[in-house]
Structure 1
Amino acid sequence: MNSVLHATPVISEEDSLRADIYALLASLLRQAPNYELLSFLSELELDEAAQGEMAQAWQLLKLAAQHSNTNALESEYLKLFIGITQGELTPFASWYLTGSLMEAPLIELRKDLDLLGFARAEPYCEPEDHIAALCEVMSLLIQQGASHERQTVFYQRHLASWGQTFFTDLVKAPSAVFYNAVALLGQAFFKTETICLQKQSDAVQSVRLSG
């Protein structure tokens, strides 16, 4: 996903981490990880004392990366998302929300992407409502310093209604081994995002009402 670039804003450490996680999920869901990314995940420095779903998901992803190789992951990715005629999952908003591809959710998304100044990157031919593309947009919004209100609106309009369901399906997918760990990270992260962004939205509403 391409966007109109402006001067790099200063964002908080928390937002920088959020942007990195969205970018990681986008990369892993766009294609099987290459050797460099797999090595990076295998060598993650994690706080072993950390608790909670996110901490556990990171630990499982690191372990999965250490026991994976790129050839096996290419095969796993193909079975999950492409298949001979269709993969085990169809990672598009339109499919999850309507049961068909290229439907109203994609039309609404394209309108919002146009307003935000985003355009589909040349190498990619799949519709923009692919889960990877939506994660890329969220990462870019954060990196560009978009307000939490704008992030919340995009997330609620295009990810909140189906993102966690997608990751739940990925956890249960027959071919998911490494991608089971990816799904657990996505589940935990989206749960955190839903709560965090809703709190931000409620806080903005409260300030407006009190003003």
Structure 2
Amino acid sequence: MSNLTSMRDEISPEDADRAVMYGFLGRMLQAAPSDDDLAVLRSLSADDTPMGLLLGEISASARDVAAVDLARDYHDLFIGLGRGEFVPFGSYYLTGFLHEKPLAELRASMAGFGIERAEGVSEPEDHIAALMQMMEGLILGEFGQVASLDEQKQFFTAHIGSWAGHFFKDLAASGTSRFYSAVGALGEQFMAVEAEAFAMAQ
């Protein structure tokens, strides 16, 4: 049995579900969904929980849009000509500028966990998608070992909790794209759930 398989055996179903949600949000914000991604999203089934209903809205919005349209929406929202409607980086959300102290602090935390910037990625590491994927990796043990709940809490509090909820709330309120508004609403709800759970963890 591989070390990774052994580590995943240590993860509770609840934590596995959390990792899936972090990974899902990271994927949705890393790039616009492809045709294959949209096929999967359109097949999602919703339940009557708050998170399930929001996933249902993402699925419904995916049925009403083509990949080429979402690529344009993604560009308008996050890239733009010079800059998009949103600048989805922690430093920018917290200070109004890129490459500021929050990014330096994140890089120090990444080094402590053995997290390295992916090859070919030139943008700062405090992009919201990268942070969601880092949390996924910490929960699943993809950086060497499964992070303890206290370690997860420290990382979340230091680098995500102070701004990601605001980002997702703003994205949910944007009228640019029904799909990305739905992604924002899901992210806002999930960040609130995570913040509450970490606040209760002692």
Residue 142, structure 1, aligned to residue 139, structure 2 = yes
CA RMSD of superposed structures (Å) = 1.3
TM-score (norm 2): 0.92
User: Identity over aligned residues, as a percent?
Assistant: 39
Structure ranking higher on relative contact order (CA contacts 8 Å, 6+ apart): 1
Counterpart of 1:51 (choices 49, 52, 55) is 49
CA contact (8 A) 1:170 1:176 kept: no
Partner in structure 2 of residue 205 of structure 1: none
1:83 matched to 2:84: no
**Structure 1 unmatched ranges of 5 or more:** 203-211
Query: Is the CA contact (8 Å cut-off) linking 1:128 and 1:134 kept in structure 2?
Result: yes
Residues 170 and 183 of structure 1 are in contact (CA less than 8 Å); yes or no, is this contact kept in structure 2? yes
Letter in 1 for 2:150: E
Secondary structure of 1:105 counterpart: helix
Which stretches of structure 1, 4 residues or more, deviate above 4 A after TM superposition? none
Q: Could you tell me whether the CA contact under 8 Å between 2:45 and 2:56 is conserved in 1?
A: no
TM-score by length of 1: 0.88
Alignment of 1:57-136 (within 5 A): 57-136=54-133
Structure 2 gap segments, 5+ residues each: none
- Partner letter of residue 14 of structure 1? E
1:177 aligns with 2:188: no
Distance, in Å, in 1 between the alignment partners of 2:93 and 2:4 is 36
Please say if residues 103 and 124 of structure 2, whose CA atoms lie closer than 8 Å, have aligned partners that are also in contact. Answer: yes
8 Å CA contact 1:80–1:173 kept in 2: the answer is no
2:154 counterpart residue number: 153
Is 1:30 matched up with 2:27?
Answer: no
Select between 191-200 and 134-143 the one with higher mean Cα deviation. Answer: 191-200
**Take 1:82 and 1:17, find their aligned partners in 2: how far apart are those partners?**
30
